[in-house]
Amino acid sequence: MVVGGGPTGVEMAGAIAELSRWTLARDFRHIDPASARTLLVEAGPRLLAAFPEELAAYAGDRLRGLGVAVITGASVDDVLPDAVVIAGRETPCGAVVWGAGIRATSITRALGAPVDRAGRVSVGPNLAIVGREDAYAIGDCAALLQDGQPLPALAQVAKQQGEYLGRVLGEHGGEHREPFRFRNRGNTAVVGRNAAVFDFGKHRLRGRVAWLLWALVHVYLLVGFEKRLLVSVQWLWRYLTYQRGARLIR
Ligand SMILES: Cc1cc2nc3c(=O)[nH]c(=O)nc-3n(C[C@H](O)[C@H](O)[C@H](O)COP(=O)(O)OP(=O)(O)OC[C@H]3O[C@@H](n4cnc5c(N)ncnc54)[C@H](O)[C@@H]3O)c2cc1C
């Protein structure tokens, strides 16, 4: 069971479904892959709330095609040793993967500034903590509104904020002229083999082309030529052979 239908939950549910379909079948002859059940539970009305509806619908269809049971509009209230409680009803399950978000480190609450639901501390346009012009917060622990919307807790936001703050502190010693502005380079989620969604704002991609682009971007973002080459070769090998180790020794 995967809790949360954002990019993390969608990617996880797709990966588990593929593992049970391809890897279990080959590695464990006594396990019937058809008996493996993957459930994805989302509290909101649809998957991938941050993506356009058509891409979210595509992701849902792909997951269902992989055998994932998708439940939307129902929140997980409790996680028990062998079950989860979904909208008041106990559903037995063997393993639970939490993909419904994280909470910022508790130190943000000690700063005396307002925090949002996820414990992120409010910052102004120059990333200074609200009410404390001598301290700054960036990345996942900072809540910044841009055009009235909170910026998502994403690596590209954290990276751009780090670069901005380093630059303006170096140049102006804290006397910031221009406010921080996040430039969205696109949101993506991979749904499984040959299937991904990519949202660039005006342009949208889905399917194999989006999946290839997803792989290229992730390889490009790795540090150093050696790592890029190594990961590319490993991915290509796994793609061609369907090999994805799922053997755990306990
Ligand atoms: C499962 C998952 C999947 C994700 N996938 C994507 C993705 O595909 N694309 C994307 O853009 N983003 C993704 N993200 C989000 C991305 O990882 C974060 O937005 C990004 O790491 C934020 O960077 P950060 O430096 O603010 O925080 P972090 O990367 O969390 O770094 C904070 C560091 O501070 C340390 N720390 C915490 N408290 C203290 C303390 N009191 N003292 C000292 N050290 C402390 C922590 O140990 C940690 O090393 C994903 C997140 C998760 C959980």
Please tell me whether residues 202 and 115 are part of one structural domain.
no
Please tell me whether residues 42 and 143 are part of one structural domain.
no
C-beta of 158 in contact with ligand 1 (< 6 A)? yes
Please tell me whether residues 126 and 147 are part of one structural domain.
yes
Please tell me whether residues 14 and 52 are part of one structural domain.
yes
pLDDT band at residue 170 using 50, 70 and 90 as cut-offs: confident
Is residue 142 within 8 A of residue 121, CB to CB? The reply is yes
Please tell me whether residues 204 and 85 are part of one structural domain.
yes
Please tell me whether residues 11 and 117 are part of one structural domain.
no
Residue 181 lies inside a defined structural domain of this protein: no
Is residue 197 within 8 A of residue 58, CB to CB? The reply is yes
Please tell me whether residues 159 and 198 are part of one structural domain.
no
CA of 34 from ligand 1 middle (Å) equals 36
pLDDT digits (tens, 9 = 90+) for 38-49: 999 999 999 999
The pLDDT of residue 136 is: 94
Say whether pLDDT at 116 is over 70: yes
Among 129, 148, 172, give the residue marking a domain's end: 172
Entry pTM: 0.84
Closest residue (by CA) to atom 1 of ligand 1? 8
Residue 250 lies inside a defined structural domain of this protein: no
| φ, ψ of residue 81 in degrees (nearest 5) | -55, -40
pLDDT digits (tens, 9 = 90+) for 217-246: 999 989 899 999 999 999 999 888 876 665
Please tell me whether residues 155 and 56 are part of one structural domain.
no
Residue 88 gets the label, from left (phi > 0), alpha (psi -120 to 50) or beta, of left
Q: Give dist(CA 37, CA 33) in Å, integer.
A: 9
Q: Give dist(CA 163, CA 182) in Å, integer.
A: 11
Please tell me whether residues 90 and 123 are part of one structural domain.
no
Residue 182 lies inside a defined structural domain of this protein: no
The residue length of the chain stands at: 250
Provide the 10 A C-beta neighbour count for residue 18.
19
pLDDT digits (tens, 9 = 90+) for 54-68: 999 999 999 999 999
Is residue 3 within 8 A of residue 41, CB to CB? The reply is yes
- State the average pLDDT over residues 5-25: 90
Please tell me whether residues 196 and 92 are part of one structural domain.
yes
C-beta of 107 in contact with ligand 1 (< 6 A)? yes
The pLDDT of residue 36 is: 83
Residue 179 lies inside a defined structural domain of this protein: no
Residue 156 lies inside a defined structural domain of this protein: yes
Residue 207 lies inside a defined structural domain of this protein: yes
Q: Give dist(CA 139, CA 154) in Å, integer.
A: 8
Closest residue (by CA) to atom 25 of ligand 1? 139
Pairing mode, strands 89-92 and 97-98 = unpaired
C-beta of 25 in contact with ligand 1 (< 6 A)? no
**SS3 assignment, position 130:** coil
Say whether pLDDT at 199 is over 90: yes
| φ, ψ of residue 177 in degrees (nearest 5) | -95, -60
Residue type present at position 56:
A
Please tell me whether residues 206 and 132 are part of one structural domain.
no
Domain tally, the chain: 2
Residue 21 lies inside a defined structural domain of this protein: yes
Active-site residue, 11 included: yes
Can you read off the two tokens belonging to residue 224? 């150093």
The pLDDT of residue 112 is: 87
Q: Which domain holds residue 14?
A: 2-101+187-241
CA of 8 from ligand 1 middle (Å) equals 13
Q: Which DSSP letter does residue 118 get?
A: T
Say whether pLDDT at 174 is over 70: no
How far is CA 96 from each of CA 16, 52, 85, 158, 198, rounded to the nearest angstrom? 11, 27, 12, 28, 27
Return the CATH number at 62: 3.50.50.100
Among 143, 172, 201, give the residue marking a domain's end: 172
Q: Give dist(CA 35, CA 114) in Å, integer.
A: 48
Among 172, 202, 221, give the residue marking a domain's end: 172
Return the CATH number at 156: 3.50.50.60
Residue 249 lies inside a defined structural domain of this protein: no
